[in-house]
Structure 1
Amino acid sequence: MVTVTLGPEGTYSHRAARAIDDEIDFRQSVTSIVDAVASGEYDRGVIPVENSIEGSVTESLDAVAEYDVAVVREIVTPIRHALLAQGAEFETVASHSQALAQCRSFLDREYPDTSLEAVASTAQGVEYARENPSVAGIGHPDNADERLEILAEDIQDQDSNATRFFALAPAEERSKGGGKTSLVVYPNANYPGLLLELLNPFANRDINLTRVESRPSGQRLGDYVFHVDIEAGLYEARTQEAIAELEDLAENGWVRRLGSYDTEHVVD
């Protein structure tokens, strides 16, 4: 089995992917990862979905709504950011936009005059720092080596900083078993009380909603796709009943079952 995730080597996605596979390839965007899994090019893909400080990764939400894939596992890992550079004098801090945002208070306080550059991944920012003494990177402290020193550790704004990742598989591997389920709902409608109607089937059956988020459908302004996570498996009768009611409400659109899965906490 081969897993694809965000590269280069050393990203937090890479660290999460190591929890499910030893053979890992890399892509530079979430969308290309989801596409590669949907087409069957890879057995598994690992993508970041939500961070406890910065919230959802919108590219991931849009990609799982666009491509037919299965979510087979959830991986939650703590995020420990370090500032890495060749020396104490640098002009730019380069990292993924989420990492820069997660360390905003530290950077504003300690390096208010330093420019910030958003790049494709934390590991790419670290590579830039390894190649250029005028650049510092933000990444896991394990990325330090003979060329890069750790200038500061645990620079994230919250000690509880953590990211959840989805392990994806081709659609035919979708499972009904697991403690959580993710759905994508496109009602193709817009009227007062719509969202309440969409959520009632779960509330009426005592199914806990752990996340509800809207994303633009791309069809027209004001038209939305809803991402819903619930604490119940697709195998459960109450889940099947709730989704059947949901499909009736979204009769002009569609409901996609991404699958049921369990959560693994990885401390690395």
Structure 2
Amino acid sequence: MKALTLGPEGTYSHRATQAVADEIDFVESVTGIVEGVASGEYERGVIPIENSIEGSVTESLDALADRNVAVVREIVTPIQHALLAQAGEFDIVASHPQALAQCREYLNEEYPSAKTEAVASTARGVERAREDASVAAIGHPATAGDDLQVLARDIQDSTSNATRFVVLAPETERVDAGGKSSVIVYPNTNHPGLLLEMLEPFADRDINLSRVESRPSGERLGDYMFHFDFAAGLYEERAQEAIEELRDIASNGWVRVLGSYDTEHVL
């Protein structure tokens, strides 16, 4: 099976994708991954969806709303950030924006004068550190190799730092079996009580919502779409009924069912 994920080699996305496929290609944008799967060029794609410190990855939410794909699996992996550099002195710390944010307190306390540089991935930051002795990187300690020193381990601001990734497949491979499901709703309307109306179909059927998030629709200011994750499989009658109610509420817009899936924890 051939999968597409964020590169270059050595990213946390790469580590998660190794649990999915042996043959892995890389791009440097989440949108590129979703497009690769939606077009049928790739059988699977793996994208980050949420971090326990920094919250949801908005590029992932928006890409899922724009293209027809299925979510067939969820992978949760602990994030163990290390500070990597050629030597103990440096001027810049380069990494993915999420990694920089997850280590903000550590950097402020230990290296207050160092500038931060956002790059496309943690692996790209490691490449920068290999090329330039004035640059340090934040990444997994296993990516240090022979060229970089591991100056500090577990520098993330929370010891429970973890990231959820979702495994994407073509829309035709969507399944209804699984302990968790995801849908996106664009109601294309706005009135008092709208959010409550969308929550009630789940509450009335004792379905636990594990995530509710709004994102701008891009159509006009103040217009939103909503992402729901809930603890029930689409094979369940109560889930089917809840989604039908959502379709009625969003009759001026649309409901996109991403599918049901199970969660796997990968170190």
What does the per-residue CA deviation read over 1:144-191, in whole Å, with 9 as the maximum and x for residues that have no partner? 121101000000000000000000000000000000000000000111
Q: Secondary structure at the match of 1:200?
A: helix
Instruction: Measure how far apart 1:84 and its partner are.
Output: 0.2
| Aligned amino acid, residue 105 of structure 2 | S
Instruction: Measure how far apart 1:22 and its partner are.
Output: 1.0
Counterpart of 1:185 in structure 2 is 185
Distance 1:147 1:141 in 2: 12
After superposition, the CA RMSD in angstroms is: 0.4
Q: Secondary structure at the match of 2:113?
A: coil
Counterpart of 2:20 in structure 1 is 20
Distance 1:112 1:177 in 2: 49
Distance 2:94 2:245 in 1: 47
Counterpart of 1:114 in structure 2 is 114
Counterpart of 2:4 in structure 1 is 4
How do residues 59-138 of structure 1 correspond to structure 2 at under 5 angstroms?
A: 59-138=59-138
Distance 1:228 1:112 in 2: 39
Distance 1:246 1:118 in 2: 39
Counterpart of 1:140 in structure 2 is 140
| Aligned amino acid, residue 188 of structure 1 | N
Distance 2:239 2:53 in 1: 30
Distance 1:146 1:223 in 2: 51
Instruction: Measure how far apart 1:26 and its partner are.
Output: 0.1
What does the per-residue CA deviation read over 1:102-127, in whole Å, with 9 as the maximum and x for residues that have no partner? 00000000000000000000000000
What does the per-residue CA deviation read over 1:184-212, in whole Å, with 9 as the maximum and x for residues that have no partner? 00000111100000010000000000000
| Aligned amino acid, residue 59 of structure 2 | E
Counterpart of 1:30 in structure 2 is 30
Counterpart of 2:197 in structure 1 is 197
Q: Could you list the runs of 5+ residues in structure 2 that have no partner in the other structure? A: none
Instruction: Measure how far apart 1:58 and its partner are.
Output: 0.1
Distance 1:146 1:6 in 2: 23
Counterpart of 2:49 in structure 1 is 49
| Aligned amino acid, residue 83 of structure 1 | L
Counterpart of 2:251 in structure 1 is 251
Distance 2:160 2:146 in 1: 29
Distance 1:180 1:155 in 2: 32
Q: Secondary structure at the match of 1:10?
A: coil
Q: Secondary structure at the match of 1:26?
A: strand
Q: How much identity, in percent, do the aligned residues show?
A: 72
What does the per-residue CA deviation read over 1:5-60, in whole Å, with 9 as the maximum and x for residues that have no partner? 00000000000000111110000100000000000010000000000000000000
Counterpart of 1:173 in structure 2 is 173
Counterpart of 1:233 in structure 2 is 233
Q: Could you list the runs of 5+ residues in structure 1 that have no partner in the other structure? A: none
Distance 1:225 1:13 in 2: 26
| Aligned amino acid, residue 251 of structure 1 | S
Distance 1:138 1:245 in 2: 45
Counterpart of 2:265 in structure 1 is 265
Distance 1:219 1:134 in 2: 44
Q: Secondary structure at the match of 2:258?
A: strand
Instruction: Measure how far apart 1:89 and its partner are.
Output: 1.1
Distance 1:15 1:239 in 2: 33
Distance 2:257 2:230 in 1: 11
Distance 2:145 2:234 in 1: 46
Q: How many residues align?
A: 267
TM-score by length of 2: 1.00
